[in-house]
Amino acid sequence: MNPTLSELEARAARKKAAFGGDAHIVCDNLVRIYKTEGVEVVALQGLDLVIDKGELVAIVGASGSGKSTLLNVLSGLDVPTAGVARVAGMDLLSMSPKDRLRYRRSVVGFIWQQTARNLLPYLTARENVELPMKLAGGARKGRAMELLELLGVDYCAGRKIPEISGGEQQRVAIAVALANSPQLILADEPTGELDSETSELVFQALRTANRELGVTVVIVTHDPLVSEQVDRTVGIRDGRTSSETLRREDAEGQIIAEEYAVLDRVGRLQLPRDFMNALHMERRVRLELESDHIGVWPAREEPSND
């Protein structure tokens, strides 16, 4: 029996579940446009992203892909042009300047690639960790040492920053980012200036913070090898999420990594460039719906009029 007009109207009026639900981070059709000297640059072109609370995620992409813009938006340093950006239930588009400052102080912690932006050289490691707590008016005696110990750099507590190594500085920077018990840690190329062995120690510290404190960690990098350090890697290309790699452990204890293309809310996906180049796919493709998959083929060559 066909539904009546009133039944159809009632269905349409029902509130649909919001995209991302109660996820910790939700970006829905996120757009960021920069205007400089009359030129518009669209850094984010309708990006969709969902990250659950307590996840450890890497965002990877080439230079200019939009990953740094996304990081600036999530950190509260930049305001999106359109769309939805929500962290811990807070709408980043509608925040007042006062709310945005409070958000950066208490909800999110940030780790820059350059240690000079994370730490004050004339303070000791412990004093650097204590500083954000004092600024927020909630310093707790002993917390700085607890964090340094958790991250394996408690022996650096009394040393000033120039007296410790680059890897130690980054682990102290993680402790600084954790000082005010944030819900989210954002790391911008945290191992970009470190060797592989030292980088492993920094990632170990981030995993420890994620596991022991339950904080959500998002790492932005251009290094695809970072995917081996996290459970989920999100690829960004041309201002949109293009792929996801999920890592899991099989029954024999082996780590299996599976890569997926990301299908956004309107049905768009980005085919890997290698695939398109191999099959000479340009401008348009043919699609066919099969019983359990969708086939994608290069467009048929049009007959010549010669």
Under 8 Å between Cβ of 186 and 118 = no
Report yes or no on 76 lying in a domain. Answer: yes
The answer to whether position 290 is within a domain reads no
Structural domain includes residue 287? no
pLDDT in tens, 282-292: 888 888 988 89
Is the distance from CB of 282 to CB of 268 less than 8 angstroms?
Answer: no
Residue 165, pLDDT score: 92
Count up the domains in the chain and report the number: 1
Q: List, for residues 178-196, the tens digit of each pLDDT value.
A: 999 999 999 998 888 788 8
96, part of any domain: yes
Domain boundaries, position 182: 25-261
Q: Which of 167, 93, 156 is nearest to 127 (CA)?
A: 156
Alpha-carbon distance 102 to 268, whole Å?
A: 36
Per residue in 3-58, pLDDT tens? 665 655 565 555 445 667 789 999 999 999 988 887 888 899 989 999 999 999 99
The answer to the question of residue 303 being in a domain is no
Residue 274 lies in a domain: no
Answer whether residue 282 is part of any domain: no
Q: Considering the domain boundaries, does residue 17 fall inside one?
A: no
Report the CATH number that the domain containing residue 208 is assigned in CATH.
3.40.50.300
